[in-house]
Each structure stands twice: as structure tokens, then as C-alpha cells.
Structure 1
């Protein structure tokens, strides 16, 4: 029997999202919205001189799957580079789509295995990773200018 889409682990993560406060004057901010369900994630990022995320804030208005994904993203984003965030975003998308057998090396993403056949849910799950990767890339470009 397959695991339930909204299982206890998903619901626990959804209830414990870290960094749930917007940053004051961040280096970059990005808003992503799922057109299917209306889930919305806003991400603020500051990078240090080495190009690693040093401060992170997020506002999450999403379904339980989007909230759980934002929880996993927020739990492991500090210290990551824009390239690492882009790789995590791409690995998650490939995993959900069925183009990869694993979700990459970001901790906890295998939790979304039950969502793989539910393509309408993929957008919400990807929101935090898409917003975070884009914000970090924007901050890096601004720092290089």
C-alpha cells in the first residue's frame, strides 16, 4: 500500500516552518505563486562575502505540502550557495516529475515520494526551492555588480 499524501511527517513539518519572518532590507526578495492552487511563498535572502546564505526569511501561505517543503528548505538553507540552491531546486523538480530516482542530497525531500503521481501538487512543493534559488542568485548578481 502506498503512503498517504498528507501523512504525519508532512503535517509535522507544515506546523514547524523555520525563519517565518521577513528580513528588513534584504539583498534580494522573490515571490512565487502556484497557479494551480494559489499557494504563495515569499523569500528574503542575504549572502555573506563568500556568497553563502547568512540570513533568510520567508512568508508561507501554502497548503500543507507547500508548508512542509518550505520547512525543509528553511531548515537547511543557511550556509548554502546560490549554486547549491539551484541544484536542490532542479533535483526536486526532476524527482517529482519522475526524471530522477532520488531527490538529490537536500535532507528530507524523499518525504514527497507520495506526491510524485499528483502533478497538480508539484508546483506548491517546489515554491520555496524556486523562490530561494532565485533570490540567492539575484543577491549574488547584485553583490557582483
Structure 2
């Protein structure tokens, strides 16, 4: 099977559905932290705004300019991050990295929907785009924790 055919299969119907319906798009009026991240390989970018209280995410918004894989990841994150603790978000980020790079386990609930991106493990040039939303969220939460 050719590499091009494999790449086309990577963009499954579920990934395209997630990419077409990203929750929490936009920006927050008064975020506790804002982080913009960019994937140098493909140019995908995401800006996340987060508010948090007592170590849990209370509001979240995202401006996503990424490929379908990055959009699908942002969709799963946006749909599940509210109410999560900083540790849960960090664990999801670490698990996503391990899933893509080391065939590690699927990120824990509520981020287990990221399993749909497991086939992208073979495409290292796509990893940064897939990880943008959780990388930016963790960075924002670390900023909040430092000021608390």
C-alpha cells in the first residue's frame, strides 16, 4: 500500500467529524492565562484562553488554525476540559505524547476520545499539530499555578 493511500486512510470519518465540530471556539473576555502555540513543521497554530479556580478549569476557549488532525485533537480537548484538574490535563498531555511516540496507552478519560488519533503515530510530522491544544492548555495552567 502506498504512503499516500495510508495518509488518506488516516483522515477517517470520525477525525473529519471532530474537525468539523470543534467546541469552545473563540476567545474568553477575561482569561486567567492565554497561550499561543505553533507547530514549526506545518504552521498549525492554536491560542487557548483558560480560567481556573481551586485547581480546576472553569472556562476554556480556543482559536484553532490547524490541519484536520490538530482540529480533531482540539475538538476532543475543548469538549472535555471544563471541570478537569490541572493534574488531569497534564496526564492527558503526557499520555497523548506517549501514545504517539511510544505506542503508549490511550489518554485517560475524559480525554480518551484522542484514541482516534492513534493511527497518526506513524506520521511524526503530524505529532506537533495533534499535541498543540494540550501543550498550550498545560502551559496556560502552569502560568495560573505560578500566580496562585
Range into which the TM-score falls when normalised by the shorter chain: over 0.9
Residue of structure 2 equivalent to 1:60? 64
Distance 2:107 2:12 in 1: 21
Say yes or no: does 1:45 pair with 2:50: yes
Deviations 1:41-86 (A, max 9, x none): 00000002x2110010100000000000000000100001112111
Distance 1:85 1:57 in 2: 15
Residue of structure 1 equivalent to 2:97? 93
Question: What SS is found at the alignment partner of 1:37?
Answer: coil
The correspondence of residues 74-113 of structure 1 with structure 2, limited to 5 A, is: 74-100=78-104, 102-105=105-108, 106-113=111-118
* Displacement over 4 Å in runs of 4+: none
How far does residue 140 in structure 1 lie from its aligned partner after superposition?
2.1
Residue of structure 2 equivalent to 1:20? 25
Equivalent residues of 2:48, 2:60 under 8 A apart: yes
TM-score, length of structure 2 as denominator length: 0.90
Of 125, 145, 148, 1:140 maps to 145
How far does residue 99 in structure 1 lie from its aligned partner after superposition?
4.8
How far does residue 104 in structure 1 lie from its aligned partner after superposition?
2.3
How many positions carry a matched residue from both structures? 141
Equivalent residues of 1:92, 1:109 under 8 A apart: yes
Say yes or no: does 1:120 pair with 2:125: yes
Unaligned runs of 5+ in 1: none
Equivalent residues of 1:47, 1:140 under 8 A apart: no
TM-score, length of structure 1 as denominator length: 0.92
Question: What SS is found at the alignment partner of 1:30?
Answer: strand
Equivalent residues of 1:73, 1:129 under 8 A apart: yes
When the two chains are superposed, the root-mean-square deviation of aligned CA atoms in Å is 1.5
